[in-house]
Structure 1
Amino acid sequence: MVKQVKLGSQGLAVPTIGLGCMGMTTFSGMEIYGQANEQESIATIHRSLELGGNFLDTADVYGPFKNEQLIAKAIQGKREQYIIASKFGFTFNEEDKYTGAINGRKEYVKLAAERSLKNLGTDYIDLYYLHRLDPETPVEETVGAMAELVKEGKVRYIGLSEVGTATIRKAHAVHPLTAVQSEYNLFEREVEELGILATLQELGIGFVAYSPLGRGFIGMDFKHPEEIPASDFRRYLPRFQGQQFYQNLALLEAIKNMAAEKQVSASQLAIAWIIAKGHLPIPGTKRVPYLEQNIAATHIALTTDDINRLEKIIPIDAPTGARMNEEGMKQVNL
């Protein structure tokens, strides 16, 4: 079973590992880490609960909306046994198609929350994040509206995703944040480099590490970029392209060698590293065997020497390729 820990200082208790659900549905028609099967995905969510992994991470934009709706099916009749995190901020047109625009205005916060509550089949969301900062709206307005949702009992705790230190401080002054979520893994440590993690520790805010396996790079079987299906969004990420792919592959081999010494997988070692650093990883999977491997990683104890060795394999300033395309990178750490 998975041990429980406090996420932040506002009272939310969670397992030491969460389940990222993004890959269980398509994203605007693109596959996320390969094809998904609804029945298999729901079985994975149920198996996670059996093992003590009851923290599920989703967002309205995944699908759009299909991911929250899938989770509603999976948790039906057992809502109180799960901790549900969802996110809002991206907008959709009249046909419910993703537009790419971000809206953090007060009225949209309320609209998005009501829509997610309906799609999730619940009357409250445990942890509600602003998915990306709206540069046209003061974060104080957005967080003020989120705080009203807390007062109304529709949201228990609030957080932000992919924001910088100044934004975190402004938001936390309006209403205490429980968590901030960003990509963090052995290939991507910008939140550490920019001092964001230090700010969170100072303010008593938890850190949730999404893509703890480097968008699947650490656990993948591809040996050449061309092997990644054209329908897989990773084919368009710089980390998975051209010469950068092969440079990263060499780093991965060193991680695999260390993992073999410890008789664990590279993915398990990468997850254990994040937990040892005091953060909450939410690896995504839609298959029971991978879920079981990920949860088993919570029992791996790493020493300070182990951590230092891993971080020497991929130093914090190592060039590993941007984690998103150019447009996506404009929306992070604001």
Structure 2
Amino acid sequence: MGCLPEDAEGELGDGGRARRIRAPRRPVDRSRLLRQPGQVAAVRTALIGDREVTRLGFGGWQLSGVEPRPAQVTARHVIETVFDAGITLIDTADSYQLGGEEPGHNERLLSETVASWKGQADALLIASKGGRSVTETGERYCNASPSALRAACEGSLRRLGTDHIELYYLHRPDPAVPFEDSLGCLSDLAEEGSIRSIGVSNVDEAQLHTAHALLGPRLVAVQNEFSPWNVESEPVVRLAEQLGLAFIGYAPFGGVDRSGQLGSSSDLANVARRYDATPHELTLAWILAQSPAMFTIPATRTAGRVASLVNGASLDLSTNDVRELSDIFAGLRNA
């Protein structure tokens, strides 16, 4: 799988260093609910490795890597609202920035928000990524040599204000660098205590098999795009289940260009009415129903939309409705 020129992730929608890496446990939904004051919904949790986090996460890409970027105060309010809603899986990367900037705009934004937040920061799992860079004019490219990955991780550690990163992904396999070399660097970083566990992103089945064989229990997650518009990673989801890994689906609404199309389907609207939900809420519920290994990390620039994300991730769909939605989404893809 080659390195794409741009991310598809934008949407509307303390302790000491860890010297030992525990074996990951299968990310089965534990049916625990995290309730927050004022929230009408609850967020289900599951395991990523040995960390229990919400199956609904939040992707920071849109707050930093898409123009027009929201004002700093607005972006911080969105993140605080996410935290206050009980969402504990937070996704970022050193390349979430605009062209011509220093790397790590989103990492700095998250770190500053966490530092001032009054909640329980230890409950948050902030996952970052390395292996992707941005040119002065905003083009994105793979940069996953061992030396580049090590430098990227060191930069992320500084910006996040921590001595170790809980979960660190290879952002994309670099066609110019042997996959095994990139993974070997991440393994070294884990051995040194800079990262606690490892993920791979934008990989196919063969690459996930390779990563699992090389990294063993240090590998806990795989992150690929998964939405009604893109189900190409279904085999990777099934493999993640078999290997006891978490599958983190990004761009659940299909990206900015396709998110709005979900509201145009009368069939989808009919099913949504059964649950007193919006099409976007129903979409999140359908995605999470695909597998007990599934997590999803939608993005939003608007604090007012966070409650809707929580509502969607909290819906219990019947088996028949999951099937019906699968048929509806297949029709939308093929239209």
Report how far residue 121 of structure 1 moved: 2.2
Structure-1 residue corresponding to 2:109: 70
Q: 1: distance between equivalents of 2:242 and 2:180?
A: 20
RMSD: 2.2
Report how far residue 201 of structure 1 moved: 1.6
Structure-1 residue corresponding to 2:85: 51
Report how far residue 219 of structure 1 moved: 5.0
Determine helix, strand or coil for the equivalent of 1:52.
Answer: coil
Q: Which moved more, 1:81-90 or 1:108-117?
A: 81-90
Report how far residue 257 of structure 1 moved: 2.7
1:113-134 deviation digits (Å, cap 9, x = unpaired): 0111122222221111111111
CA 1:217 to 1:292, structure 2 compared with 1: closer, same or farther past 3 Å?
farther
Report how far residue 61 of structure 1 moved: 1.1
Structure-2 residue corresponding to 1:24: 63
Contact 2:262 2:280 in 1 (8 A): no
Report how far residue 314 of structure 1 moved: 2.1
Q: 2: distance between equivalents of 1:116 and 1:150?
A: 14
| 1:6 lines up with 2:47 in the alignment | yes
Taking CA–CA contacts closer than 8 Å with sequence separation of 6 or more, which of the two structures ends up with the larger relative contact order? 2
Structure-1 residue corresponding to 2:206: 166
Aligned partner (choices 256, 265, 283) of residue 278 of structure 2: 265
Equivalent AA in structure 2 for residue 304 of structure 1: T
Report how far residue 75 of structure 1 moved: 0.9
1:105-149 deviation digits (Å, cap 9, x = unpaired): 211111010111122222221111111111122222111111121
Contact 2:271 2:321 in 1 (8 A): no
CA 1:265 to 1:219, structure 2 compared with 1: closer, same or farther past 3 Å?
farther
CA 1:128 to 1:23, structure 2 compared with 1: closer, same or farther past 3 Å?
same
| 1:284 lines up with 2:299 in the alignment | yes
Equivalent AA in structure 2 for residue 49 of structure 1: F
CA 1:111 to 1:76, structure 2 compared with 1: closer, same or farther past 3 Å?
same
Determine helix, strand or coil for the equivalent of 1:3.
Answer: strand
1:224-254 deviation digits (Å, cap 9, x = unpaired): xxxxxxxxxxxxxxxxxxxxxxxx5686342
Equivalent AA in structure 1 for residue 130 of structure 2: F
Report how far residue 99 of structure 1 moved: 5.0
Contact 1:129 1:160 in 2 (8 A): yes
Q: 2: distance between equivalents of 1:4 and 1:197?
A: 18
TM-score by length of 1: 0.78
Report how far residue 44 of structure 1 moved: 2.1
TM-score by length of 2: 0.78
CA 1:251 to 1:43, structure 2 compared with 1: closer, same or farther past 3 Å?
closer
Q: 2: distance between equivalents of 1:260 and 1:202?
A: 35
1:144-163 deviation digits (Å, cap 9, x = unpaired): 11112112222111111111
Contact 2:61 2:299 in 1 (8 A): yes
| 1:293 lines up with 2:305 in the alignment | no
| 1:150-189 correspondence runs (5 A) | 150-176=190-216, 177-189=219-231
Q: 1: distance between equivalents of 2:144 and 2:88?
A: 29
Note the residue ranges of structure 1 that are not aligned, 5 or more in a row. Answer: 221-247, 321-334
**Sequence identity percentage:** 29
Q: 1: distance between equivalents of 2:114 and 2:191?
A: 25
Contact 2:262 2:279 in 1 (8 A): no
